[in-house]
Amino acid sequence: MEDNISKIKERLSIVDIVSGYLKVQKAGINFKAPCPFHNEKTPSFFISPERQMWKCFGCSKGGSIFDFIMEIEGVDFPEALRILAARAGIELEKFDSSVRNSKDRLYEICESSARFFEKQLGHSSSGSRAVEYLKNRGLENATIIKFRLGFAPKTWDALSGYLRNSGFTEKEIIDSGMVIKRESEGIYDRFRSRVMFPISDVNGRVVGFTGRILEGDEKEAKYINTPQTLIYDKSRILYGLEHSRGDIRKKDKCLLVEGNMDVIMSHQAGVANVVASSGTALTPMHLAMLKRYTDNLDFCFDTDSAGAMATKRGIGMALGQNFSVRAVSIDDKECKDPADYVKKYGKEWEKIVSSARPVMDFYFEKAKENYKPESAESKKNVILTVAPFIKSISSRVERAHWINKLAYLLRVKEEAIEADIMSVQDDLSVYSTADRRQPATGAKKTKLPVERDILNETLLSVVFKKPFLFKEEITALDKSFLNSLASQVFGELAKENLEQFNFGSFAAKFNSDKTLDLEFIYLRSQALWDNFEDDELKVEFNNILNKLKQKIIHLRLADLGYEMRAAEAAGDKASIGVLAARFNELTQALVKIHNF
Ligand SMILES: [Zn+2]
């Protein structure tokens, strides 16, 4: 495996691979391009042919050639390996593990089942009823074929018999989720007398199914889904993504709908940048997947479900993950979802979708409609309606904007509104705080440490640009201001012969988990300080170091503040004295830095 990975790295140039997806341009000894993973006009996505890696200094994604393929193709590591091995002309058979093989068997079962169901559609009297149902919902033939819709016949063993005859073992068929194990012995088909919607992964491989009951058989559950299997994890599968990812990227936005039928009908009406989280509520993993393609999400809901918890949670999560979120609302009472709307109005659907408005506007207007200035209760209701969303917004500027609008509407001071909003307990915050623990989502609480780490990295990047320039600084540096990586690096730099500094052999001294960080910092040093003269580098070094010191002192002051309050509450006079002295020291240190 390791062998194959290094062979691939040797044979392929990262610049060639990335150029297949992006328009790259030369930047010194590196290359740069507008980042495909976040919205930007000025390129901050850098590729280093020398180090065989890439890094975006805007959204901070980066890594090897494999990480790039995983991100841009939305695939897992084995798949990325497969794609790149094919490009490099390397045979992978040898290291195919048994998991790989059993996964492949499940893909084969799902594909065979999809073909089986496709054939059944229209091939019996109940198969014809299924076609009739689809036609009644407004589907055209081409759409039925494109989405590979099918029919599961009303028997206990049609599919399982077919799969057995195709050479799959009972265990494999059970593992695929297509059948249910009897308590006594044997198996029976999970899907019977149902219209079948194959669910595919982002590469278009069928991984599971949703089966919908035919009209008239309503005693049973309306929809059933394949259970969790080795290849089907519904918290990570978005229905329709294999058809829509190109359009999502092209339009730089994604329309989120609730059901499979909504996705299908939206495609039929010409709106193809659409997905649904099928069979489950939207998860943070779904959003992380979409983030690879766009930062703009349009939620579609009918006016009734705008207040539904699942919808609100989804929106809250998306705001928390820094998506710009808009609302598409269907106001026709006869249409409960996009599928109904397309059936009734066809191409008009495109107009509805393009009339989406920012989700905060939508909820703000809703709150305003119900507001009665004379009632205190009504004031509270307005705050309750919008607070969860305002709290979820991760941009401070945008949050301030909405607090200001609310203050104006309710004729209350902004500070009071802010305090009210922050004190509202709601179900959304459970989600947003859970999300905030993930490092990728520019979180409020983790902002300080993150900013501190960035300052550490920037400081290192200046030094890497011309290490011998900073000989004195390196030995004189007060390491208590540095994070652990930076202080280790400065420690090692102090032992180096800086006149003959070589980054490659220097990086090799560190553990593999740190080398990647160092590679990024090195790339940053080339990208950031390309045209800087020696004296300018010195100035930058001092500026960054001062900023870092200020940050650390502010953090320590905040901690001291808490400790002092605790000591006061406990009436611990001795401690208060010590803490106060420390507080003065730090404030003076801060003043010194300011006057520097
Ligand atoms: Zn980026």
CATH code at 109? 3.90.980.10
% of residues, the chain, pLDDT over 90: 35
Give the C-alpha separation, 102 to 96, whole Å.
10
User: Residue 111 pLDDT > 60, yes or no?
Assistant: yes
User: What's the pLDDT score for residue 100?
Assistant: 62
> The domain that contains 380 carries what CATH number?
3.40.1360.10
451 with 361, same domain: the answer is: no
Q: How many C-beta neighbours within 10 Å does residue 323 have?
A: 22
* 42 and 13 in a common domain: yes
Specify the pLDDT at position 227: 92
The answer on 557 and 450 residing in a single domain is yes
Residues 456 and 417 in one domain: no
Print the domain residue range for 537: 446-596
Ligand 1 centroid – CA 61 distance (Å): 6
How many angstroms does the Cα of residue 510 sit away from the middle of ligand 1? 26
Do residues 263 and 299 both lie within one domain?
yes
pLDDT in tens, 550-595: 888 887 887 788 788 888 888 888 888 898 899 898 888 888 887 6
CA of 58 to the centre of ligand 1 (A): 5
Q: How far is the CA of 43 from the centre of ligand 1 (A)?
A: 9
> 520 alpha carbon to ligand 1 midpoint, in Å?
13
Residues 141 and 165 in one domain: yes
Of 215-219, 375-379, 451-455, 471-475, highest mean pLDDT: 471-475
- 53 CA to centre of ligand 1 in angstroms: 14
Average pLDDT, the chain: 85
Lowest mean pLDDT among 148-157, 344-353, 355-364: 355-364
Q: How many whole angstroms from 551 Cα to the centroid of ligand 1?
A: 25
Contact 143, 264 (CB under 8 A): yes
pLDDT exceeds cutoff 60 at 465: yes
Each residue of 279-307: pLDDT tens digit? Answer: 778 888 888 888 888 889 999 876 666 66
Cα separation of 275 and 243, whole Å? 9
CA of 76 to the centre of ligand 1 (A): 20
Residues 527 and 513 grouped into a single domain: yes
How much is the average pLDDT of 194-223? Answer: 88
pLDDT of the residue at 225? 93
Is residue 108 a contact partner of residue 235, using CB atoms and an 8 Å limit? Answer: no
Instruction: Say yes or no: 522 and 568 in one domain.
Output: yes
Spatial contact of 151 and 127, defined as CB atoms under 8 Å apart: yes
Predicted local confidence at residue 304, as pLDDT: 63
> What pLDDT is stored for residue 526 in this prediction?
85
* pTM over cut 0.75: no
Are residue 162 and residue 266 in the same domain, yes or no?
no
Same domain flag for 500 and 582? yes
Residue 166 has pLDDT above 90, yes or no: yes
Domain final residue pick, 174, 207, 232 = 232
Q: Which of 273, 196, 198, 259 is nearest to 231 (CA)?
A: 198
Q: How far is the CA of 33 from the centre of ligand 1 (A)?
A: 10
Q: How far is the CA of 36 from the centre of ligand 1 (A)?
A: 6
Q: How many domains does the chain have?
A: 4
pLDDT, tens digit (0-9, with 9 covering 90-100), for 85-108 = 888 888 766 555 555 678 889 999
Q: How far is the CA of 529 from the centre of ligand 1 (A)?
A: 19
* Residues 214 and 274 reside in one and the same domain: no
Domain stop point among 440, 469, 500:
440
* pLDDT surpassing 50 at residue 441: no
**pLDDT tens-digit profile of 307-322?**
677 778 888 888 877 8
One domain for residues 292 and 189: no
Q: Among 72, 95, 118, give the residue marking a domain's end.
A: 95
CATH number at residue 66: 3.90.580.10
Q: What is the pLDDT of residue 177?
A: 95
